[in-house]
Structure 1
Amino acid sequence: MARWEPDARLRLVRAAIDLYAEQGYEVTTVAQVAERAGLTKATFFRHFPDKREVLFAGQEHHSTLLAEGAAAAPDGATPLEAVTAALDHATAAFTPEQRAWGPRLRAVVASSAELQERAAFKRAHLAAALADALRRRGVPDPTAAVAAELGVEAFHRAFDRWGDTTDDRSYGDLARSELHDLHAAATALR
């Protein structure tokens, strides 16, 4: 692959997932990832601060999309309706290629305590962004925090289910279904 080809960031993500799945996260080097992508180590570091972050490349974008979706919910929407709008808006970020990566990405993260810790941090960041968007809509705490946590849990559960290619539903359909199930579970806690 020529170094001048477009989408260096995406090529690095693909290469990292492949190498981490093949030989393990801990033993794979940035140089190996860059080489597999047909790029230089310097190019890797222009896109990512370290070898962990390549696996979480879309998280900032997801935070933005969730917050934008909640903000764009119709006036008078309930907190849960605003979270549904956030999940619907985030759906645009999920490509068929990501669907194929899902199971390998989950396996790589599960294989490393360092990556699990980073995933938990990123998950908390998503929840904070969504809760802030709900608060800006006038949703009081703790309702905003609980609704955001339900939304982020639905977001992740849907991603896990979306990797199952025997289920042909879209990520958005899965996220709405997960949010519905989580809301029902929370309601049953009374």
Structure 2
Amino acid sequence: MARWEPNARERLVRAAVELFAEQGYEATTVNEIAERAGGLTKTTFFRHFADKREVLFAGQEIHNRIVAEAIAEAPAAATPLELASLALDALASSFAQDRRDIGRRLRAVLANSAELRERSASKRAALSEAMAQALRARDVPELVADLAAELGTRAFYGAFDRWTSTADQRTLVEYARQMFGELKAAVSVLE
């Protein structure tokens, strides 16, 4: 692949996930990632990502924006849980089926690196906070917003785990809706 070909960012992500799965996160260098991505350079890598850890968490700002916009654009009469559900649908629908294999490999890479698990937890907290802020902007009380956001975030990550660990053809949206329904049912029996 020539350096001028489009989609360098996506190629770098795929190359990194492949290499991390093959030889481990710690053993993989930025130069190896760039070369696997079609003969790109280290400079090209750093044009897209701050470090090799961030290549796995690319798009966090986009995910946060997706949930915030879905909540902001929802009908005025929507309840906090309906808002969280709409945000969850919007986020899950942004993941095409071809991302499933990358997600599968990413889960394996995360399982083998404490540093990456820590970064993943930080990403999860940021997503929950973005959802909570969007809910508070809709005048949802803070505690209610935090709880609804945590349920939505938990549903997303639970759905992602299921989606990437099964072979059926259901979409991430279908898994997310199922998981959100299960969490709502679990909450209803707490009283």
- Fold match by TM threshold 0.5: yes
Count of aligned pairs: 190
Query: In the aligned structure 2, how far is the partner of 1:167 from the partner of 1:72?
Result: 32
CA contact (8 A) 2:24 2:109 kept: yes
C-alpha offsets along residues 141-185 of structure 1, whole Å, 9 cap, x if unaligned? 101001001101111111111124532221111111111111111
Offset of residue 62 of structure 1: 0.8
Aligned to 1:9: 9
Q: Determine whether 1:180 maps to 2:181.
A: yes
Correspondence 1:7-46 to 2 at 5 A:
7-38=7-38, 39-46=40-47
User: What TM-score do the two structures reach when normalised by structure 2?
Assistant: 0.96
CA contact (8 A) 1:72 1:85 kept: no
Offset of residue 40 of structure 1: 0.4
Aligned to 1:81: 82
Percent identity between matched residues is 59
User: What TM-score do the two structures reach when normalised by structure 1?
Assistant: 0.96
Aligned to 2:158: 157
Paired AA for residue 162 in structure 1: W
Aligned to 1:136: 137
Paired AA for residue 32 in structure 1: E
Query: In the aligned structure 2, how far is the partner of 1:176 from the partner of 1:73?
Result: 17
Query: In the aligned structure 2, how far is the partner of 1:28 from the partner of 1:157?
Result: 28
Which blocks of at least 5 consecutive residues in structure 1 are unaligned?
Answer: none
Q: Determine whether 1:124 maps to 2:125.
A: yes
Aligned to 1:167: 168
Query: In the aligned structure 2, how far is the partner of 1:94 from the partner of 1:2?
Result: 27
Offset of residue 82 of structure 1: 0.4
